[in-house]
Amino acid sequence: MNRLPRHTLLSLLLATTAGCAVGPDFRRPATPEAQRYLAIELPEQTTSTPGLAGDAQRLVPGQEVPSQWWRAFGSPALDELVAAALNANPDLQAAEAALRAARETAAAQRGAFWPAIDAGMNTTREKVAEPDAVPYTLHTSQVTVSYVPDVFGGNRRQVEAMTAEVDVQRFEREAVYMTLVANVVNTAIEEASLRAQIAATRDLIDLSTRLLDVTRRQHRVGEVGGADVAAQEAALAQAQAALPPLEKQLAEQRNRLAVLCGRLPSDQPTQHFELEALSLPLELPLSVPSRLVEQRPDIRAAEAQLHAASAQIGVATAARLPSITLSATLGSSAPKVSQLFRSGGGFWNVGADLLQPIFNGGALRHQQRAAEAAYDQAAAQYRSTVLTAFQDTADTLQAIVSDADTLRAASTAEAAARRSLGMARRQRELGAATQAELILAQQTWQEAALALVEARASRYTNTVALYQALGGWWQAPTTSGAAQ
């Protein structure tokens, strides 16, 4: 039988190695064909209300989220705080370290495409089991080259899976980035809201204190009874009791801002926030639904997980097929180190091993089936992530429209409660209203004032939620200088 020339064998080996890898080739999931986020048509703009945060917001279809969307609130203090958080937040730093680790792991796996070359030096002291044998020393030095051709593409699929894991870590890093920015902005807005609620509560305490002084004077001259004084004292105590919880919540938000910026709570940021210092963005981006799967880092991470699961099917399939190991060794042995590599002491060998799994108790078959099931799991998780993303966006859009109407109603209610309180005070001074009616008017105004503050803050937080639901701006550089 004629033997093939060496160059022909080499060509066949290379051709086999460069062949198609076993397992499915990954295909990106189809993009949802939805034309809109909600089942109903959105108005071109929200309702407007006179006063703070009452401007109408207009949705701009097809517009992308701005690169540094937090600047739309017009607060230099907020810009500084976001930059500080991006530079020092430990969660973001941990995500970046995880990304670096994934990249190095993938790079290490690519090393399997190359031969492994090892050098060794061995010294032994030996004696033959004979009566007159003399012990002797033997020095051996050798270089070993081994190579496993990737005939069926198992290593290629493993590299593919690890490259997909790099994408997973990259998108998870961007999700942490996006969530961090949103948390900083929302916490600043909550701080501003609490300051406004505290101010309204203190105004009510001052009013209740003045009314108590008036009631006590009236009691001293016999115009009102002791029950009226006690009722006003109770109203003042109730207003005072509402203040500590608000101050507690404000302190918690300040602590949270410090931690988001990578600081201890005792080292709080110098920035302070008031609702009056924040501008409500009047034009809001509304990217087309088909773009959502490209913009949301959680969707991109789920897609990368699906890609990795697809590649693992190929890895499990290749493990059931034959593998070839080529090896060669070149070395020398001598009784003295100085005599190594002299003629007469050298040796070499060349070998090839073929390994075909025959029986493993069904382990390899079940591993392949497990990889296929893991792919189905990743596919279902991807679909769930997409559905959740569309739900987030739809909920946020509805909140933007509805909460603008809520602000209008809250503003009307607060104005009416303030007028009612003023009339109740005048009527009480004239004796035409009871103390109970005056206290009820005070409580109604307090509830309306706090509801108005919360309605105003919701306009800001809903805007943040829309930026986040649409994917924010996650194509960010490293944290250092990311917000510059």
Domain boundaries, the chain: 17-112+152-320+378-469
Contact yes or no for 340/370 (Cβ under 8 A): no
Fold of the 17-112+152-320+378-469 domain: Outer membrane efflux proteins (OEP) (1.20.1600)
Determine the Cα–Cα distance for residues 355 and 376; give it in Å rounded to an integer: 31
* Gap between the Cα atoms of 210 and 204, Å rounded: 10
How does pLDDT run along the chain (484 residues), one tens digit per residue?
Answer: 444 444 444 444 444 455 568 989 999 999 998 888 998 888 989 999 999 999 999 999 988 888 899 999 999 999 999 999 999 999 999 999 999 999 999 999 999 999 999 988 888 887 777 777 778 787 788 899 999 999 999 999 999 999 999 999 999 999 999 999 999 999 999 999 999 999 999 999 998 898 889 889 888 888 888 988 898 899 899 999 999 999 999 999 999 999 999 999 999 999 999 999 999 999 999 988 988 999 999 999 999 999 999 999 999 999 999 999 999 998 888 777 777 777 767 878 899 888 899 988 899 999 999 999 999 999 999 999 999 999 999 999 999 999 999 999 999 999 999 999 999 988 888 878 888 888 899 889 999 999 999 999 999 999 999 999 998 765 544 433 333 3
Q: Yes or no: say if 402 and 447 are a contact pair by the CB < 8 Å rule.
A: no
Burial class of residue 146 (count of CB atoms within 10 Å of its CB; 0-12, 13-18, 19+):
middle
Q: Which residue(s) pair with 325 in the sheet?
A: 353
Dihedral sign, CA of 415, 253, 77, 395? negative
Alpha helical stretches, state H, 221-296:
226-241, 243-260, 289-295
- pTM score of the predicted model: 0.86
CA angle (66 as vertex; 472, 34 as ends), nearest 5: 60
